[in-house]
Amino acid sequence: MRSKQQEVVAAYLFLAPFLITLALFFLYATVRAVFFSFTDYDLFNAPRWVGLQNYANLFREENFLFALRNSLVFAAVVTTLQTFGALVMAAVLNQRIRGLNFFRAAYYMPSVTSSVVITLIFLWMYQREGLFNYLATQVASYAPQLGVFALLLIALQIIQVLIERTRGYPARWLDPALFAISFLVAAAATWLLTFLGILLPRDAEVDFTWLQTSQEVPGAFPMALRAPVPLIAIMIQNIFTTIPTFMLMFLAALQDVPKSYYEAASLDGATPAQQFFSITVPSVQPVTFLVVTLGLIGTLQMFDQVAIFGNAVPIRSVITLAYFVYQRMFPGAQLPEVGFASAAAMFLAVLTLLIVLIQRRFIRSEAS
Amino acid sequence: MAQAPARPLTNYHGAQDIERWQARRRWARAGIVYTVMLLFSILFLGPLLFATVSSLKENPLEYPPTLAIPQLSPRNWSAAASLGRAGAGAPLWGGFAPGAEVPFEVTYFVPEGLEATPPAVSVPRRRPGGGLGAVQQIEYAADYASVTPAQEVGREPGGYVDEDGETLTGEVVTYGFRVLYEGDGPKVDRLPVDVEVEERDQVFVSSTLALSRLERRGRVASYDNLAPGALGYTFNNYARVFKEARSITTGRSLFLSWTLNSFVIALAKVVSTILFASMAGYALARLHFPGKNIIFVLILFAQMIPGQVNFISNYLVLRDGIFGLSRLWGQASLLNSLSGVILSGLVGAGAVFIMKQFFETIPREVEEAAMIDGTTQWQRFFRVVMPMARPALGALTILTFQGAWNDFFWPLVVLTTPEDIKTLPIGLLTFRNIYGATGDWGLILAGAVMSALPIIILFIVFQRYFLEGVSYGGGKE
């Protein structure tokens, strides 16, 4: 009996530093945020109870609606693309080859640096005279070459596969050996045509405004869910940084999948794409669930990029819920609207929990 | 894609033949896989490397962007070194000191029918960039330098291809001049020089050191520093980060202060997290006590609630010095102090979760053996359990350091004034706000690269722990 009591005392002693931190900076803080969200408070005068007024006012605030729209679009697009991209990359990397560790490390490198560093670099590349516009200009100028190259590649591949088949070999349409030959020959032919001056690069100049613009991309979204161009710029940057992390999670799971599954499928004549959808995707289901959850939590709380893009973009096109809260708490010259900011923060917390719960239902039901 | 043909192998190929055919496929497949992996590497490392290389450039926004950067040419390194030696006896970092005699040559192309004229050389009073450097008192080389008239030192026939692709014939003429520091005075960091010709058609070809930029329709060849020294030339932007960005009140280098602050916070957090997270994780994994489930639910919630919910109250708690506790050690408020950031982040719920998961995987038997020896709980934890936890602690150390080093939101809230108190990430935001406005990206990129350096070195050395950290973070639930 004494030893049991001792164990309880020991446990709470071991937990004490953590529990104190948790109680003060999480529990107390959350309870206070809930309380503030029902009050009118500016840090200088005592909080005044206003009931649900702050929550009602949220939806009358134009910037809040922009922030809500941006956060939702951002979370949906980024989570989808990064999950899919990470899984595809992991499937490609899931090989027993030399040098895999080097490649894993190389891909992970951008993710170890801070979001500030990566965002600054991207911001620099998004300038009007930056790398993105330069590369786009190159692609536009060499569009004839790229087109001819693609046509040659397809034609050569078809011809080669047909020849191999008539010779009695079981060649697939994407046979790697034939593809390598087609690729090299098509590249050489395109280069020769350009060198001889038969195929000339076009005089193109891409001058796309990534930052100082209020242009929006309608895409497939309903009207309310259009994505402003600067937000798309942040999406690209975010996907770039998060794919490697999630790719490593998928890769760890994939390496537990027996190689024999793929070999058997291969013998049955399944294409790589079929193998991907019927072996890879189902066997990493639990990790997919985790990646989507982490992705949603991360993207719904996106803040750093908005702060760093700052005045380089129209604020409405990139403002997120997290940034909205910060901006109302520290509005510069004006009085802080602590109550209003707390209401927006509570809204963000509840939204995060709801979306994670819904997604949990959705992916679980699909698995069963 | 299309279904593989189900046709049987026709009998005029032997088994050996098919074997060889399939081996060829495997080789090609490996080749393609490696090529794709290399392309991915370029995609993911490209922006970092391109930014690193461009951070050496005088103007990283130069268009079109190029990798042929004068700062990377050995010819310019040796020229910069000997110019630095001539300027201040300093081949590495250069400068302009009393007694200096800096020889320099500029070569022009003069088309037929035009008489070559010697260029006019001047030392302008030019500020070293805007931003934070603009308020500093500096010495100007212009106040101490004198220039000898440019004299012809060589002339030979030559050709020149102009913008329209036409080849012109004429002469290539080289002029030499010296910049002198006569009399006494201070050592000056930079020696900016403008070399101007009267005729636009007298075209600049080359000079002892690559020029900074051509101005006034090609008539003025401008040099930001004629005596830079090898390192001063190559790492000019990096030197500027330390030299120009100084605190207005103390005059100390801001970047150094930020780096130091980042290190202090990260190391303190690593130590406290290692200790407290393993203590808490051990208790949750091994000991029986009431309230365990509630704590566990709290841990899960704490990881899901956004920082934007808690920062409001936490800001106020730090402002009041944690209910006045900080007065015990003489701080009225914990805002704008490193201890504020450290105390509010002693141990995170995520770290406790990782350690709990880890302690559940190690066998109880080891501890039970120690228990028989009559050790206390405390001794067992430090002598038996902690040494076994080394792999998890390695990953946790890396994760915590990385998290603290890269943390942005919370330091942005707590550390606002003076500039000296900031950490690297929010310091870089200051750089971006000040220098981004003037398009001075050289300094921003140099700062960004340097701030990423410690974490990248750590990654290269402790790669294993980083990658393990990802799977811990992923938690194989």
Q: List chain B residues with CB under 8 Å of A341.
A: 312
pLDDT at B299 over 60: yes
Query: Residues of chain B with pLDDT > 70: what percent?
Result: 93
pLDDT confidence bin for A237, thresholds 50/70/90? very high
Q: Which residues pair with A291 in a beta bridge?
A: none
Say yes or no: A157 and A285 in one domain: no
Between the CA of residue A176 and those of A172, A292, B16, B118, what are the distances in Å? 9, 33, 20, 64
pLDDT in tens, B89-121: 999 999 999 999 999 999 999 888 888 889 999
Q: Can you give the pLDDT at residue B377?
A: 78
> If you average pLDDT over residues A217-232, what whole number do you get?
73
pLDDT confidence bin for B3, thresholds 50/70/90? very low
Provide the CATH number for the domain formed by B254-474 in this structure: 1.10.3720.10
Which range of residues forms the domain containing residue A279?
56-140+206-367
> If you average pLDDT over residues B141-159, what whole number do you get?
89
pLDDT confidence bin for B6, thresholds 50/70/90? very low
Say yes or no: A240 and A322 in one domain: yes
Inform me whether the C-beta atom of residue B471 falls under 8 Å from chain A C-beta atoms. Answer: yes
Say yes or no: A232 and A264 in one domain: yes
Runs of H (alpha helix) within B55-147: 74-88
Q: Can you give the pLDDT at residue A225?
A: 64
pLDDT in tens, A185-216: 999 999 999 999 888 888 888 888 889 887 88
Interface mutation vs chain A, best among B309, B335, B444, most A CBs within 10 Å: B309
Torsions phi, psi for B98 (to 5 deg): -50, 140
Residue found under tokens 């830079």: B228
> If you average pLDDT over residues B81-85, what whole number do you get?
93
Interstrand relation of B120-122 and B167-181 (parallel, antiparallel or unpaired):
unpaired
Q: Can you give the pLDDT at residue A221?
A: 55
pLDDT at B137 over 90: no
Torsions phi, psi for B160 (to 5 deg): -150, 135
ipTM of the complex as predicted: 0.90
Query: Does any domain span residue A23?
Result: no
> If you average pLDDT over residues A274-301, what whole number do you get?
88
pLDDT at B297 over 80: yes
What length does chain A have? 368
pLDDT at A367 over 50: no
Say yes or no: A65 and A77 in one domain: yes
Domain boundaries, chain B: 95-226, 254-474
Residue A270, number of CB atoms within 10 A of its CB:
18
Say yes or no: A155 and A176 in one domain: yes
Query: Residues of chain B with pLDDT > 90: what percent?
Result: 48
Q: Can you give the pLDDT at residue B476?
A: 33
Query: Does any domain span residue A15?
Result: no
CATH number where A267 lies: 1.10.3720.10
Say yes or no: A121 and A159 in one domain: no
Query: Residues of chain A with pLDDT > 90: what percent?
Result: 57
Query: Does any domain span residue A41?
Result: no
Say yes or no: A116 and A156 in one domain: no
Residue B291, number of CB atoms within 10 A of its CB:
13
Q: Can you give the pLDDT at residue B15?
A: 77
Q: List chain B residues with CB under 8 Å of A310.
A: 429, 432-433
Query: Residues of chain A with pLDDT > 70: what percent?
Result: 96
pLDDT at B233 over 90: yes
Q: List chain B residues with CB under 8 Å of A27.
A: 298
pLDDT at B160 over 70: yes
Say yes or no: A272 and A328 in one domain: yes
Average pLDDT of the residues of chain B = 87
The SS3 assignment for B247 reads coil
pLDDT at B245 over 90: no
Say yes or no: A171 and A298 in one domain: no
Which two structure tokens, joined as six digits, stand for B192? 């900016």
Q: List chain A residues with CB under 8 Å of B305.
A: 26, 30, 349, 352
Domain count, chain A: 2
Look at B452 and A301 and tell me if their CB atoms are within 8 Å.
no
> If you average pLDDT over residues B233-248, what whole number do you get?
89
How far apart are alpha carbons A320 and A315 in whole angstroms?
A: 9
pLDDT at B178 over 90: yes
pLDDT at B363 over 80: yes
pLDDT confidence bin for B298, thresholds 50/70/90? very high
pLDDT at A360 over 90: no
Q: Can you give the pLDDT at residue B304?
A: 84
pLDDT in tens, A5-60: 888 998 999 999 999 999 999 999 999 999 999 999 998 889 999 999 999 999 99
Query: Does any domain span residue A244?
Result: yes
Instruction: Answer with the one of A130, A163, A195 that is the final residue of a domain.
Output: A195
pLDDT confidence bin for A123, thresholds 50/70/90? very high
Inform me whether the C-beta atom of residue B323 falls under 8 Å from chain A C-beta atoms. Answer: no
Say yes or no: A228 and A345 in one domain: yes
How far apart are alpha carbons B257 and B451 in whole angstroms?
A: 12
Look at A271 and B344 and tell me if their CB atoms are within 8 Å.
no
Query: Does any domain span residue A258?
Result: yes
Burial (CB < 10 A; 0-12, 13-18, 19+), residue B439, is middle
Look at B313 and A33 and tell me if their CB atoms are within 8 Å.
yes
DSSP string across B99-116: T-EEEEEEEEEEETT---
Interface mutation vs chain A, best among B44, B316, B385, B461, most A CBs within 10 Å: B44
pLDDT in tens, A244-275: 889 988 988 888 888 888 888 878 878 778 88
CA distance B53 to chain A (A): 12
Query: Does any domain span residue A12?
Result: no
Q: Which helix (H) or strand (E) holds B72?
A: none
Inform me whether the C-beta atom of residue B125 falls under 8 Å from chain A C-beta atoms. Answer: no
Q: Which residue has the higher pLDDT, A276 or B457?
A: B457
Say yes or no: A253 and A122 in one domain: yes
Q: List chain A residues with CB under 8 Å of B378.
A: 10
pLDDT at A143 over 70: yes
Say yes or no: A94 and A169 in one domain: no
Q: How far apart are the first and last CA of chain B?
A: 36
CA distance B292 to chain A (A): 10
